[in-house]
């Protein structure tokens, strides 16, 4: 797991622009969006629905090609999927006909590589899936399936883990549990994490920085540093600091939602609230 130098961001997004070409016309999803993520950081990306969060994350993973702009990993441009970047989606996407062990080993089979069994056993233990290796996805809860998806992504020892709304489909208690798990994994591996979520509370609990994207086309509108040491306890979520930050970010997102409409009406820019 290589860390970038102090000056080079781990993941550097420079003027990322993405246009989807469709029969009905072109759609500008990202417009010169720039963002640096530093080694060992956890950065969450929030923003109005449809603002381009997933497009940005998929571009960071190399799964999407940008229309213009660059994504750099440790200073080197990436143009396709990269072995040093892992991704976890909202759906666990486990193969239903394979048991949990076979699902975790699947990427190694595709790559023709030998899995590091000791590392996988460590991860399985870390996420609390000891003894479930022979179970099939249908025998596991949604939370357990997502734990397996996290193990599958980390098994390849990526230095960057991209997570696209991974706990959006889980109930709120399981979600809190999974948030604590992500923090534990981070404390263990110090993997750089970029996390997309619709939950501002989740973003604050997990992140060193919360980045707010503008309404589509997505660009960085605001960013906030979260000033709590780790490990964080759920009690911080009841502090006035978190309450105020949550409201500030909420108002940013609401502002971004109404801004395009205000533009259409020819009214002035919405007044922004800053910390």
Ligand X SMILES: Nc1ncnc2c1ncn2[C@@H]1O[C@H](COP(=O)(O)OP(=O)(O)OP(=O)(O)O)[C@@H](O)[C@H]1O
Binding region for ligand X (CB under 6 A): 20, 22, 27, 29, 47, 49-55, 216
Which of residues 50 and 231 has its CB atom nearest to ligand X in the complex? Answer: 50
Which of residues 58 and 119 has its CB atom nearest to ligand X in the complex? Answer: 58
Distance CA 2, CA 172 (A): 34
Distance CA 95, CA 104 (A): 10
Which of residues 123 and 196 has its CB atom nearest to ligand X in the complex? Answer: 196
Instruction: Indicate the SS3 state at residue 252.
Output: helix
Q: Are 84 and 68 in contact, with CB atoms under 8 Å apart?
A: no
Which of residues 9 and 218 has its CB atom nearest to ligand X in the complex? Answer: 218
Instruction: Indicate the SS3 state at residue 17.
Output: strand
- Smallest CA-to-CA distance from 1 within 74, 107, 56 is with 74
Which of residues 12 and 47 has its CB atom nearest to ligand X in the complex? Answer: 47
Smallest separation (angstroms) from ligand X to the CB of 167: 14
Which of residues 105 and 175 has its CB atom nearest to ligand X in the complex? Answer: 175
Please, is 192 exposed, middle or buried when counting C-beta atoms within 10 Å of its C-beta (0-12, 13-18, 19+)? buried
Smallest separation (angstroms) from ligand X to the CB of 58: 8
Distance CA 139, CA 89 (A): 20
Smallest separation (angstroms) from ligand X to the CB of 259: 15
Integer angstrom CA distances of residue 159 from 2, 85, 108, 200, 268: 7, 6, 17, 25, 44
Smallest separation (angstroms) from ligand X to the CB of 153: 19
Smallest separation (angstroms) from ligand X to the CB of 32: 15
Smallest separation (angstroms) from ligand X to the CB of 240: 28
* SS3 assignment for 55-96: HHHHHHHCCCCCCEEEEEECCEECCCCCCCEEEECCCCCCCC
Helix (H) or strand (E) holding 204, with range, is helix 200-206
b/e sequence 134-149, b meaning 16+ C-beta within 10 Å:
eeebeebeebbbbbbb
Which of residues 19 and 236 has its CB atom nearest to ligand X in the complex? Answer: 19
Smallest separation (angstroms) from ligand X to the CB of 189: 26
> What is the residue whose two structure tokens read 């997990």?
206
């Amino acid at each position: 797991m290589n860390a970038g130098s102090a000056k080079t961001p781990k993941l550097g997004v420079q003027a990322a622009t993405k246009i989807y070409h469709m029969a009905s016309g072109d759609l500008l999803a990202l417009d010169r969006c720039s963002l640096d993520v530093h080694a060992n950081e956890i950065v969450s990306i929030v923003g109005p629905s449809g603002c381009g969060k997933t497009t940005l994350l998929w571009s960071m993973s190399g799964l999407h090609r940008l229309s213009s702009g660059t994504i750099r990993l440790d200073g080197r441009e990436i143009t396709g999927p990269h072995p040093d970047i892992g991704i976890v989606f909202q759906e666990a996407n486990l193969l239903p006909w394979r048991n949990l062990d076979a699902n975790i080993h699947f990427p190694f089979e595709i790559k023709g590589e030998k899995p590091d069994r000791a590392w996988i056993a460590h991860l399985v233990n870390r996420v609390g899936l000891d003894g479930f290796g022979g179970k099939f996805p249908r025998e596991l809860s949604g939370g357990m399936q997502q734990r397996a998806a996290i193990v599958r992504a980390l098994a390849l020892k990526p230095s960057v883990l991209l997570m696209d709304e991974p706990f959006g489909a889980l109930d709120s208690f399981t979600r809190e549990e999974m948030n604590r798990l992500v923090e534990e994994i981070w404390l263990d591996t110090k993997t750089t994490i970029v996390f997309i979520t619709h939950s501002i509370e989740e973003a604050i609990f997990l992140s060193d920085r919360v980045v707010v994207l503008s309404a589509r086309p997505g660009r960085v509108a605001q960013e906030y540093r979260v000033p709590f040491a780790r490990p964080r306890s759920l009690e911080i979520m009841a502090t006035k600091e978190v309450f105020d930050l949550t409201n500030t970010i909420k108002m940013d997102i609401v502002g971004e939602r109404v801004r395009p409409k205000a533009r259409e009406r020819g009214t002035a820019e919405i007044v922004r609230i800053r910390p």
